[in-house]
Amino acid sequence: MSATAPASSALAADAVEPGRSLWQDAWARLRRNRMAVIGGVVLLVLTALSLFGPLFVAYSYEEQNLGLGAAPPSAAHLLGTDKLGRDQLARLFFGGRVSLLVGLAATSVSLTIGVLWGSIAGYAGGKLDAVMMRIVDILYALPFTIFVILLMTVFGRNFILLFVAIGAVEWLTMARIVRGQVLALKRQEFIEAAVALGLRKRRIVLRHVVPNVLGPVMVYTTLTIPAVMLLEAFLSFLGLGVQPPMSSWGLLIKEGAEQMEEAPWLLIYPAVVFAATLFSLNFLGDGLRDALDVRASKD
C-alpha cells in the first residue's frame, strides 16, 4: 500500500527541504528497472512506427497487386507481400494502429466502468456495496470469451462494438481493486487528519484519495492493455474480429498461419511484433507495480 506523507501538504511548510513526492520516488525506482525501461522504449518505438510508419511506405495497406502474389521480402517490399500482393510492411504498420487503438480504447472503457463501479461500491458501503460486489462475483464466474464471441456474431463484426465488448468484459478486476483501495483509504488516519484540519472535500479527494488510488489503477491498466490486445487478436484469429481488407496484428497472424508453409514471412513478422508488444507491456506493468509498491490483491 502506498501512502502519501500526510502532514507535508498542509502544515510543515515549504521552508523545509522539499521532500520527494510519491511519483518522483516511483519514477526513480522505475528507471532503475532495466526490463521496464526497455519495455517502455520498445513500446514508444512501435507506437511511433505505427503512427508515422505508413507515411514512409510507398504502398497503402489495402493496395493489391495480384500479379505479384505472395512474394518474399525484397527491396521494393521490405517484408514481402501477402497472397493478394499487398505490402506486408504497410499492413503491419496499419495493423499496429488498429491493435494499439483497440488496446487503448477498450482499456479506457473498462477503466471507466471499473473505477466508477468500484469507487461507488467502496464509498457507499453497506447494502449497495454488497449488492454491487455480488454482481461482480456472479459476472466473474461467466465464461466471457464465449459472450464476446456471441456478441460479435449477433451484432456483426462491428469495429466499435469490438471496443465495447472487450471493455465490458475486462472491468471486473478493476472494480475490485478500486473498491478495496477506497475501503482501506476511508479508514486511514491521514484522511481523518485531513478532515480534522478542515480541508475542503475537493482538496481531500484530489490531494489524498486520488494519488493513492491512482497507483494500483495505473498498474492494473498497464496490465489490462495486453490482455485486451490479446483478446482482440484472439477474435481476429477466429475470424470474428477485425475484417480484411482492414488489418490488425491478430488478423495478420491468422492470414500468416494459413499459408505459413509457402510464405513463412507472413507469419513471422507480425508474430514477433505482437509478442514484443505484449512482452513490453507486461514488463512495464511489472516495473510500475514494483516502483509504486502495489500489492496485487483480489479484493
Partner 1 sequence: MPKLIARRILETIPVLFLVATITFFMMKAVPGGPLDTEKNIPQEIKVQIEAFYGLDQPLWKQYASYMGNLLRGDLGPSFKHANRSVNELIAAALPVSLELGGIALCIALLVGIPLGIAAAVRQNTWIDYLASTTAMAGICLPTFVMGPLLVLVFALHFEQFNASGWDFARDRVLPALTLGLVYAGYIARLTRGGMLEVLNQDFIRTARAKGASETRVVFRHALRGGLLPVVSFLGPAIAGILTGSFVIETIFNIPGLGRHFVTSVFNRDATLTIGTALFYAALVVALNLAADIAGAMLNPKQRAN
Which residues are at the interface with partner 1 (CB under 8 A)? 137-138, 141-143, 145-147, 149-151, 153-154, 156, 226, 230, 233-234, 237-240, 250, 253-254, 256-257, 260-261, 264, 267, 271, 274-275, 278-279, 282-283
CB atoms within 10 A of CB 160: 9
Comparison of 97 and 289: residue with beta carbon closer to partner 1: 289
Comparison of 117 and 269: residue with beta carbon closer to partner 1: 269
> DSSP of 208-255, one letter per residue?
IIHHHHHHHHHHHHHHHHHHHHHHHHHHHHTTSSS-TTS--HHHHHHH
Cα–chain-centroid distance for residue 18?
A: 34
Helix axes 172-186, 126-140, angle to 10 degrees: 150
Q: Quote the least distance from Cβ 66 to partner 1, whole Å.
A: 25
Q: Quote the least distance from Cβ 289 to partner 1, whole Å.
A: 11
Q: Quote the least distance from Cβ 136 to partner 1, whole Å.
A: 12
Residues with Cβ within 8 Å of 70's Cβ and at least 6 positions away in sequence, in order, are 80, 81, 82, 83, 85, 259, 262, 263, 266
Residues with Cβ within 8 Å of 225's Cβ and at least 6 positions away in sequence, in order, are 103, 104, 107, 281
User: How far apart, in whole angstroms, are the C-alpha atoms of residue 135 and residue 131?
Assistant: 6
Q: Quote the least distance from Cβ 268 to partner 1, whole Å.
A: 8
Comparison of 5 and 130: residue with beta carbon closer to partner 1: 130
Comparison of 59 and 170: residue with beta carbon closer to partner 1: 170
Q: Quote the least distance from Cβ 233 to partner 1, whole Å.
A: 6
Residues with Cβ within 8 Å of 34's Cβ and at least 6 positions away in sequence, in order, are none
Comparison of 117 and 265: residue with beta carbon closer to partner 1: 265
Q: Quote the least distance from Cβ 178 to partner 1, whole Å.
A: 20
Comparison of 61 and 144: residue with beta carbon closer to partner 1: 144
Could you give phi then psi for residue 87, rounded to 5 degrees? -70, 125
On the CB side of 235, how many CA atoms lie within 13 Å of its CA? 31
Q: What would you report as the CA-atom Rg of the chain, rounded to the nearest whole angstrom?
A: 23
User: How far apart, in whole angstroms, are the C-alpha atoms of residue 70 and residue 244?
Assistant: 16
Comparison of 118 and 226: residue with beta carbon closer to partner 1: 226
Q: Quote the least distance from Cβ 130 to partner 1, whole Å.
A: 14
